[in-house]
Each structure stands twice: as structure tokens, then as C-alpha cells.
Structure 1
């Protein structure tokens, strides 16, 4: 493919950012497809009238984002599948956003509602069994004589990741995994809160209701169980 068919002239943004945009747009417009080898550094420099250092910096950025991969002695290629690194820019933007804690809770609510919808479509007997096992593991941690907030938190996280796994959607799994990482402190604080308030049975009831709604595919209750479930997290992030 001739280089000039998808590369634009530099203008407006920094040279490196523009090169990143040009290559990204070529992938979006399917002028470069997954697995394709991108033009060489010399070709990119000539087509846009830029220095080799700028091209190399742009390629480094796209490699770091998981968009491109460098194969020594072969060249640079468009990746052929999802890479969790692709989520980094979005998640950094969320973290650095003003009032990010509140917005992350809102984002997770929207995502969880979608997870329930999709999980209901793909639910099978094996999935139901895994959800029930995760629920039992959470109940066991809460039933222990000396409740450990960290252990309950981990069991709770595992329960939710089982729900996400049912969707068979790598993007959702990646997003939820990173949201879990960046919100660990506040969610652990929420776990400690319901323990201190002797609300563990209420916490379990909320999870059992989530399981019931999923198993019965009761779409009318999705928003209600999601809203109810996040009440303690909202209190510690508000």
C-alpha cells in the first residue's frame, strides 16, 4: 500500500502526536489491518516530512499502548488482538479526572448493568455453578469467627470477576480488572465500613439478590440490585 494513501500532513498537534494519530486513523479506517506491517521509518519520514526521532517516538508510544508490536529483523506490525495495555490511556484519564472517585463509581454502575444484561444472554449451567461457588466462598469468609476485611474484599472481587467472565468479553474483563486495581483502597474501606456497622448479613443479602436476578434473568431488577450494591462504596467516596 502506498504510504501517502493514509498519512496526512503534519499540522496543529505536536509532530509525535500527529504521527500517532495518522497511524491510529489508518487502523480505524482499515487501511492498516491487524497483522499488517506498517511502513518503514524512512517511508514514514518521507511521507510526512518529519525527523526519524519523531517517528521512533510515535512508534514507541503505540507499542507501549499495545497497538503495534516490533518483530526484530522483520519490522513493525499492527497487533492482531486485544492487549490490556490498550486501556492504559483511558484509565489514566479517569484517575486524573477531577472528582474521579465519584465518576468511577458511576462508571462501574453503568458497566455492571451492562455486564448483567450480557451475562444473562450467555448464562449456562457451568456459569451458574461458578457464580454459586463464588457466592459460597464469600459467605465462608464472612462466617469466619475473626472476619478479615482483606479476605472478604478479595472474595467479593472474585465474585464480581466471575460475573464479568460470563460475558466472554475481553474488553470488559480488562476494564473491570483495572478499575478494581485503581479503586482497591476505597472499596476496602467500604468493606471495613459494613463490618464495623455489623451489616455483613445485609451485604450477603445484596449478593444473593444479584445471584437470584442473574439466574432468573430478571432484567427488570438489574438497575435496582446494582444501585443497592454500591451504597457503601458511595458513602466512602462521597
Structure 2
């Protein structure tokens, strides 16, 4: 575990932000490793020359982000495993910035390209069978009488989730879950547009193209099928 001297002040930020940044930097630089106990409140106060309230506020922030884990009677430790809460600052930053709708679509395209690349590497007969079953469920929903946009959206979520599951990557699962949460409104609108324009057959075909690329392990077509896949969603601005 790093000693008191690992903390150095960073100018231009509040005291709380300095504490958060320095503890985070210590983790990134390897001075504090997963499972390490961080210095006590008294040690942090002494090493930075700050008050106890500032230290406590910084610890609360890091705890909310899943970076540290407070164990009563034992101390405060660097988190050992991935926690989906770690994605909150990144995703909130995307949501709040100007032109976030377009940037989220761009982000999802990049993520999907990576998912397909990794899914091709991890694909086996069992996972392919599961993907094909989810594809059948999607087709059943799309072709149902009096189908609603929400039903198709949920089946679409399930289809993309099975692709992420194939990657066996917890970080990707977390990112995709929160992207789904913050984009549900615009994606349902895109689905309503598809229904209104009677384009469900094309919508289904786009999903089948993704499954075909996965099944055939055709890496050369990944970028194109992903680009085609979001042609309706990227036209929705909110």
C-alpha cells in the first residue's frame, strides 16, 4: 500500500476534487492496487493539508462511483472487481453535452463493431443457437398482428444483448446496458417510424444480416452491416 506521500495537490480544482483526483491517479498509476486499503482520514488530512469534511466528501464520491469499498471496522479499500457504477460519470458526461444524441449513435456504432469482432472470436455452437432463437423471437414479434413499437424494441434489446453475452465481457455488458437505458426513448421513436413507414421487413433483414455476419464470421462486412443497422435511429434527434 502506498504511504502518505503519494498524495500531491493539483491546482485549479476544489479541495474535494483534488482528493478524488489524487486517489484516482494513485489507482491508475498502480500506487494503490485493487484490494489495497487506502490511507485513513487522518492520514489523508495530514498528507494534503485538508479538513476532515473534504476527505469524507471525496470518499463518498469515490464510493458512489464504485471505485472504493467501505468496510465498517476494517477501513476503506480499492474495489477489487468491476462495478457498473464506474460508468456513471462517463455516460452522464455524454448525455449532458451538446449534440449528445448524434454522439450516442456514433458511440453505439463503434461499440457494436467491437462486439461483433469479439463475438466472432468467442462464438460456439451453443451461443449461436441462442442467437438464432432470439432472432426467431424478434421475427415473431415483428410479424405479429397489431404489433406495437414497445414490443419490437424489447425484442431488439434482447437480440443485441445476446450478442454482448457471447463476448463474455462484463465491461461491454455494463456499457451496453446503460446505453440502452439512456437511448430507449429515441429508439422507440425510431421503431415507431419503422412501423409507420411499413419498413418492418427491412428492419428484420438488417438484424438477419448481423446474424449472418456472425455465423459466417465475415469480419469484412461488420462495418457495413452496423452502419446499415442504425439508419433509422440516427435520424431521430431526441
TM-score range, shorter chain: over 0.9
Pick closer, same or farther for the CA change 1:201–1:130 going to 2, 3 Å.
same
| Secondary structure of residue in 1 paired with 2:232 | helix
User: Which residue in 2 is equivalent to 1:210?
Assistant: 210
* 1:152 is the counterpart of 2:158: no
* Equivalent pair of 1:8/1:48 in contact (CA under 8 Å): yes
User: Which residue in 2 is equivalent to 1:193?
Assistant: 193
Query: 1:63 Cα deviation (Å)?
Result: 0.0
Q: For 1:134 and 1:5, how far apart are their aligned partners in 2? A: 54
Query: 1:9 Cα deviation (Å)?
Result: 3.0
* 1:20 is the counterpart of 2:20: yes
Q: How many residues align?
A: 238
User: Which residue in 2 is equivalent to 1:65?
Assistant: 65
Unaligned runs of 5+ residues in structure 2 are none
- Which TM-score applies when normalising by structure 2? 0.97
Query: 1:31 Cα deviation (Å)?
Result: 1.1
Q: For 1:208 and 1:9, how far apart are their aligned partners in 2? A: 54
Q: For 2:25 and 2:165, how far apart are their aligned partners in 1? A: 31
Give CA-to-partner distance per residue, 1:147-199, whole Å, 9 cap, x none: 12111100001100111111111111111110110010000001111111111
* 1:172 is the counterpart of 2:183: no
Q: For 1:124 and 1:112, how far apart are their aligned partners in 2? A: 19
Q: For 1:223 and 1:52, how far apart are their aligned partners in 2? A: 52
Query: 1:146 Cα deviation (Å)?
Result: 1.2
Query: 1:4 Cα deviation (Å)?
Result: 3.0
| Secondary structure of residue in 2 paired with 1:172 | helix
C-alpha RMSD of the superposition = 1.1
| Secondary structure of residue in 1 paired with 2:77 | strand
| Secondary structure of residue in 1 paired with 2:7 | coil
- Which TM-score applies when normalising by structure 1? 0.97
Q: For 1:4 and 1:41, how far apart are their aligned partners in 2? A: 11
Query: 1:29 Cα deviation (Å)?
Result: 1.2
Q: For 2:4 and 2:110, how far apart are their aligned partners in 1? A: 41
After TM superposition, the structure 1 = structure 2 runs for residues 219-230 of structure 1, keeping only pairs within 5 Å, are 219-230=219-230
Pick closer, same or farther for the CA change 1:218–1:92 going to 2, 3 Å.
same
